[in-house]
Structure 1
Amino acid sequence: MGGWRNRTFQAVFDALDRTGANARLARRTRGLGVILTLHHVRPFSGESFAPNRLLEVEPDFLDATLTRARELGFDFVTLDEAVRRVKAGRSERPFLHLTFDDGYRDVRDFALPILERHGAPATLYIASAFADGEAELWWLSLEEAIRRADVLNLDLGPEERFVACQSTAEKYEAWGRIYWTLRAGPEERLRDEVRELALANGVDILGFARKLCMRWDELAEVARHPLIEIGAHTVTHPMLSKHSEAVARAEMADSRDAIARRLGTRPRHFAYPVGDPSAAGEREYELARELGFETAVTTRPGHLTAGHAQALHALPRVSLNGHFQNRAAVDALLSGAPFAMIDLAKRVLRRA
């Protein structure tokens, strides 16, 4: 399914580029500006089985994206300036702000030099337990368990206990079945099942945070950089909507307090982990407001408009996806055309 979706999206991006529709539509479909979502920035490992590749882009692609954005007339602004323009309801030129979720070390090593060359400000949203090295990055544990195994034993429903994953094709099929089945249910079950699979296949479940994420001393150095703002991203990276209000509030408040205590600056901005409708909704938006965050970002796709002045705790972002590292995709995403097409399709379906 993922391959089909990726091919469809790329075909749309190519068609918009080939017909010149991006440029023609941008005046109507582009908002005031855009917040980009990134996670990893690093050279690709070349692994044949890489189901999480959507979460990483290569350094040259980030550089090319910023170069292209400048060519298209975008200003690179801080999050505060983006909010100021949204509240004003106008921006002489479209603006762009970069965000990086989770606090990966490769953002410092590969992305920051690129940001410096372009003078592009960014917000790093930090999950505090990742910085402690005491959190499970379950999506990476699941990937590694599938990579190591020829067959997995877990409960995916009636009479389904064993999932073959010997070939690369089988591993991708296993990933799709396991990931989406567990994502649809309670997060406690998801984490328990992945933990069992990881331990059964010799995966160090805490090793990913310790290997990949910046620790507090590293974050303190990065936080001093004039282009960087540190935001909060919960303690353990849960899908907040799947938990009680007390748990959600504690995850949000405790990450804010840990960052303030360890870095000396209270974070003013927040990002919802996962950030789609299954992970964050009206309750979480209100919690972010109550906890004093000035903004909070989702992963719901879209550009910023004047209307978002009334929704500063539910801001959309546009993902730079590792599956679409080409100029056609960049032009489409920065034009806003794909999101207008999706909105139109939704309206048509509602009327049908």
Structure 2
Amino acid sequence: MNQILRNCLYYGASRVGELPFLRSRLAARAAIILFHEIQRDCQSELMTGTAVSLFEYSLDWLQRGGWSIVSLDECLEKLARNDRSRRYAVLTFDDGYRDNVSVALPILERHNAPFMMYVPTGAPTRTMQTWWLGLRKLFLSRDKVAIDALGRQFHCSDIRSKTSALTEVTRWVHQDYRRGAMLAPTFKQNGISLAALNDEYFLDERELGILARHPLASIGGHTASHAALATLDEPSARAELADNRGYLENLLQFPVRHVAYPYGGFRACGPREERLVTEVGFQTAVTTRQGRLHDHTVNHFALPRIGFSSRSGFTARMSGIIEVVQAP
């Protein structure tokens, strides 16, 4: 869908969803909200994360609207007890970005807001093949970019054209997650080190250990290499989950009971992955499938989350009207 049309839909839906009679009919019991990077200057990062202003707006909106921001464990416990005294929001951050601590944590502390960070082994160990960071660096550093695996050449001399090109290549990778590995020769030709980018963008083991002791923080798994599990054979997919859990528990010295599927859509995880998660010993798994939690019968191994990139997108999704608009 064209971005302008999408923004118009979200804006209209957000206003309609605020009507009292619809709010009561569409009200959810809880919602799990998805973040990645929290950026002070989104333009300089080609609009790849959440702006500080939008992050603060979302927390203010929740608390003004009577949502109680709680840990994932508390949220699911409230749902299990059919506690209808409040609506509950869970804040989650995927991948373990440094700015989750340097930028987001002071805001979270100000709001006394618990949060979950899902961490893949390859982030703190600097071994993850972060093709998305490589692409960002490539487009930021050059006005002419050839993506041989895609058979495309991009001429992009300003932030808008760079952002558009990055979005196009990212969408191409997401159509088949194995394409990320096909970008390695391009990165090598352009002198881009994914290990160096990992070091720049992700918490290291010492920093993660410090964060894990913060009273607001919980740490969950995110597989060993951030692979789309559905693209792997079963032994490999199980190892991705088990090795990541073992690594984090050894590093942090406490149980790791929750996990987020990398990518998290229907092409990246399904019933097989839900079974593997339970076999490895995780108690919950979150996806990137859009949705809120309505009652205790929710599947704990395919929990939906709310992702958004604008104020209107956030309020439209939290109001529930988008679920109605997009329903088949």
**Partner residue of 2:5 out of 4, 8, 13:** 8
Q: Shift of the alpha carbon at 1:32?
A: 0.7
Q: Could you list the per-position Cα deviations for residues 274-312 of structure 1 after superposition, in whole angstroms to 9, with x for gaps in the alignment?
A: 101111111111111111111100000000122544x10
**1:200: which partner in 2?**
189
**Partner residue of 2:58 out of 65, 78, 83:** 65
Mapped contact 2:147–2:183 kept (Cα < 8 A): no
Q: Could you list the per-position Cα deviations for residues 63-93 of structure 1 after superposition, in whole angstroms to 9, with x for gaps in the alignment?
A: 2211111111101111111111222344221
**2:270: which partner in 1?**
281
CA RMSD of aligned residues (A): 2.1
Mapped contact 2:112–2:216 kept (Cα < 8 A): yes
**1:330: which partner in 2?**
314
2:170 is equivalent to residue 179 of structure 1? yes
Q: Could you list the per-position Cα deviations for residues 197-239 of structure 1 after superposition, in whole angstroms to 9, with x for gaps in the alignment?
A: 1111121121121111111111111111111110000111111
Mapped contact 2:131–2:181 kept (Cα < 8 A): no
SS of aligned partner of 2:278: helix
**2:69: which partner in 1?**
76
d(CA) in 2 for partners of 1:57 and 1:320? 9
SS of aligned partner of 1:130: coil
2:73 is equivalent to residue 104 of structure 1? no
What pairs with 1:152-163 in structure 2 (closer than 5 Å)?
152-156=146-150, 161-163=151-153
2:4 is aligned with what amino acid? R
SS of aligned partner of 2:290: coil
Q: Could you list the per-position Cα deviations for residues 239-277 of structure 1 after superposition, in whole angstroms to 9, with x for gaps in the alignment?
A: 111111111111111110000011101211000011011
SS of aligned partner of 2:57: helix
Identical-pair percentage: 30
1:16 is aligned with what amino acid? A
2:113 is equivalent to residue 120 of structure 1? yes
d(CA) in 2 for partners of 1:19 and 1:183? 32
**Partner residue of 1:40 out of 22, 29, 37:** 37
d(CA) in 1 for partners of 2:15 and 2:139? 39
1:197 is aligned with what amino acid? T
2:165 is equivalent to residue 165 of structure 1? no
Number of residues paired by the alignment? 326
SS of aligned partner of 1:226: coil
2:81 is equivalent to residue 88 of structure 1? yes
**TM-score (norm: length of structure 1):** 0.86
Mapped contact 1:145–1:197 kept (Cα < 8 A): no
**TM-score (norm: length of structure 2):** 0.92
Mapped contact 2:40–2:51 kept (Cα < 8 A): yes
d(CA) in 1 for partners of 2:130 and 2:277? 23
Q: Could you list the per-position Cα deviations for residues 162-214 of structure 1 after superposition, in whole angstroms to 9, with x for gaps in the alignment?
A: 42334446645544553333332361xx2332111111112112112111111
d(CA) in 2 for partners of 1:259 and 1:15? 43
Q: Residue 149 and residue 236 in structure 1: after superposition, are their counterparts in 2 closer, same or farther (change >3 A)?
A: farther
d(CA) in 2 for partners of 1:108 and 1:181? 31
d(CA) in 2 for partners of 1:133 and 1:16? 41
Q: Shift of the alpha carbon at 1:17?
A: 4.0
Q: Shift of the alpha carbon at 1:128?
A: 1.2
d(CA) in 2 for partners of 1:330 and 1:173? 22
d(CA) in 2 for partners of 1:149 and 1:200? 16
d(CA) in 1 for partners of 2:313 and 2:193? 36
1:223 is aligned with what amino acid? A
Unpaired runs of 5+ residues, structure 1, are: 347-352
Mapped contact 2:42–2:50 kept (Cα < 8 A): no
Q: Could you list the per-position Cα deviations for residues 126-168 of structure 1 after superposition, in whole angstroms to 9, with x for gaps in the alignment?
A: 1111111222211111222234251415143xxxx44233444
**2:305: which partner in 1?**
317
Mapped contact 2:143–2:157 kept (Cα < 8 A): no
